[in-house]
Amino acid sequence: MARARSLSLAAAAACAASLSAGAAQANPPDTYGFGSRETAMGGAASATTRGFAATYYNPAALARSRGLELSIGYFRADHHMQINGADTGVDPVKGLNGGLVVPGTLFGMPFAFGIALHLPDDRISRVRALRQEQPRWEMYDNRNQRLFLAACLAIEPVPWLQIGGGLSFMSSTRGRLDITGRANVFRADDSELRHEVDADLTAIRYPHAGVRVALSDSAALAAVYRGEFQLGLDLSARLAGSISDLTTALFVLETSSVNNFLPQQIVLGGEWKPHRDVTTTFDATWIQWSAYVPPVARLDVALDIPPPDGGWPPTVTPPEVPAPTRVEPLRMRDRLVPRFGVEWRAVHARTADVFARGGYEIFVSPIEAQSGLTNYIDRSRHTVSLGAGVALRDLARELPGTVTLDAHGQLGQLVTSTTRKTSAADLVGDYTAGGRFIAFGLQLGVVFDPPGRAK
């Protein structure tokens, strides 16, 4: 039995690793966690997660649910990122977290469907294509400003095994601006210009899958794969027409960039209960940062303005075609991120349980020293989290099940260090950078299931 479980786990991990479709530490959940219980446990949750949060941590764990589960909560992370002692004003990440799990049976086999959502309340998604020289907190400035939406299925073919998978959704942006007509540079009001705008938000999906093996009542292992995705931004503009009947102008601009890239991840984790009221967890997440595509726009410009009859007046300097950008590669290294968590059931009564939780994560920055032209600033980070939860059973006749209320607080402390530039003619120069983020969240859930039936 133990050998069969080990083989199943290895096979599932191999299958997960071989999936080629493909992104990571820039979902907001990657950085700040998802769901108060799991976040409070340091994100070390692949083997211990359940409910709506399983759609992110391990879709297989959805099959642990036996009753309809609804959850909603709020989350906020405030950044205090400093460069040379000055706060650079990195925007907070905040919004609703929630989801539902609908369990059932399929051919006599436990089955569950889950959907989860992180809905930012500032912006659904943000597009930024900065100059590659401009300093920015690459891991915190823009990448986490986006929606997270995932839908998953899971089955439990045998009581000790859960398998699950699903898709996450995002959209790329394609846009076109077309202006034609006649421009009067002497009387702008007499210009006759027609413009057309054509923009598409095209859906992209990336997979994630997982497996959970219960080795015993007190131990479980898990493996999770999260795919890679690239959030593209393609814009084009075309301007054509005559300028005061003196000459004609044709300007064509095409720009293409990857606004958000999430590398693929593989998570191996475990859960062990040394005592019936204590759960300890561990996750190791491998992230393929070496495949990262920097968010720099590639610009292609064509400009054709023939000189008017008699040539250009001496006071007029005709515009020149801008030079293309020489994109400097961003070198990143694959990383293994360890996470640890613990949960203590401090109170266990007939109608209520009370939990205390803690967790720790160390994230070694994958970005190599920015000693050259580019300034993708990042620092290694220690994240400590604490939380508490209460599960209330049979609270009211209208709520026939368990009501859970979980809260967490999180401190991500970035190590302060100094970047030294190789070139003394660098316009940014040396800088010292460091900082922290502070996050908190609250999650309310209802499990429409008599206590004791959920696994």
Partner 1 sequence: MTRRALAQALLGASACICIYACATTGAEGEGDRDLPSSGVGPFRKLAGDEVPGVAPFVLDDERAEYREPSAISIRVAGEAEPSVVLYAVARDAAGADGIVRSRALDGRAFFGATGHTGRSPARVLSADLPWEGGALSGPAALAVGGEIWLYYAAAGGIGLARSVDGVTFSKLPAPVLAAVAPSGAETTAPRAPSVYRLPDGRFRMLYAAGTSIFEAESADGLAFRRLDPDPSTPEIEPVLAPSRPALPSELLPNEKGPFDTGRVSDPEVSVRTTPAGRLHIRVLYTGESLAGATVIGFAGRYGESGPLERQQLPVFAVGKKERAPTMVPVGAGIMLYVQQDHPAGLGGGEGYFALSAAYAPGTETLARPLDYPASP
85/311 with CB nearer partner 1: 85
User: Residue 176 contacts by C-beta under 8 Å, 6 or more apart in sequence?
Assistant: 196, 197, 198, 199, 235, 236, 237, 238
User: Residue 216 contacts by C-beta under 8 Å, 6 or more apart in sequence?
Assistant: none
How many helices (DSSP H) and strands (DSSP E) are in the chain?
Answer: 4, 20
In 3D, which of 430, 328, 325 has the Cα closest to residue 373?
328
Is residue 438 near partner 1 by the rule CB under 8 A?
A: no
Stretch that binds partner 1, among 165-173, 174-182, 235-243, 320-328 (CB under 8 A): 320-328
Is residue 72 near partner 1 by the rule CB under 8 A?
A: yes
Is residue 424 near partner 1 by the rule CB under 8 A?
A: yes
Q: Shortest distance, CB of residue 374 to partner 1, whole angstroms?
A: 13
Whole-number CA gyration radius for the chain: 26
Residues pairing with 439 in the sheet = 77, 410
Is residue 96 near partner 1 by the rule CB under 8 A?
A: yes
171/242 with CB nearer partner 1: 171
Is residue 315 near partner 1 by the rule CB under 8 A?
A: yes
Alpha carbons 228 and 207: distance in angstroms, whole number: 8
Burial class of residue 337 in the structure, from the number of CB atoms within 10 Å of its CB (0-12 exposed, 13-18 middle, 19+ buried): buried
CA dist 252 to 177, 182, 272, 305, Å? 10, 16, 61, 12
Question: Binding string to partner 1 for residues 328 to 367, with x set by CB under 8 A, is what?
Answer: -----------------------x----------------
Among 11, 17, 21, 87, interactor with partner 1 by CB under 8 A? 87
Among 19, 305, 354, 405, interactor with partner 1 by CB under 8 A? 405
- What b/e readout covers 24-34, taking b as 16+ CB neighbours within 10 angstroms? bbbbbbbbbbb
Stretch that binds partner 1, among 55-63, 106-114, 123-131, 269-277 (CB under 8 A): 123-131
Q: Shortest distance, CB of residue 136 to partner 1, whole angstroms?
A: 6
Among 301, 386, 438, 454, interactor with partner 1 by CB under 8 A? 301
Q: Which of the residues 197 through 236 are near partner 1 (CB under 8 A)? A: none
Among 86, 185, 188, 203, interactor with partner 1 by CB under 8 A? 86
Is residue 28 near partner 1 by the rule CB under 8 A?
A: no
Among 411, 423, 453, 455, interactor with partner 1 by CB under 8 A? 423
Name the one residue in this structure whose structure tokens are 């220690």: 382
Neighbours of 405 (CB within 10 A): 15
216/371 with CB nearer partner 1: 371
Question: Binding string to partner 1 for residues 126 to 165, with x set by CB under 8 A, is what?
Answer: x-x-----xxxx---xx--x--------------------
Among 322, 368, 415, 455, interactor with partner 1 by CB under 8 A? 322
DSSP string, 104-166: EEETTEEEEEEEEEEEESS-SB------TTS-EETTTSSTT-B-EEEEEEEEEEETTEEEEEE
Q: What is the three-class DSSP state of 354?
A: strand
Alpha carbons 234 and 238: distance in angstroms, whole number: 14
Residues that bind partner 1 (CB under 8 A): 72-74, 83-84, 86-91, 94-96, 119, 121-123, 126, 128, 134-137, 141-142, 145, 301, 315, 317, 320-324, 326, 351, 392, 395-396, 398-399, 403, 405, 418-420, 423-432, 442, 444
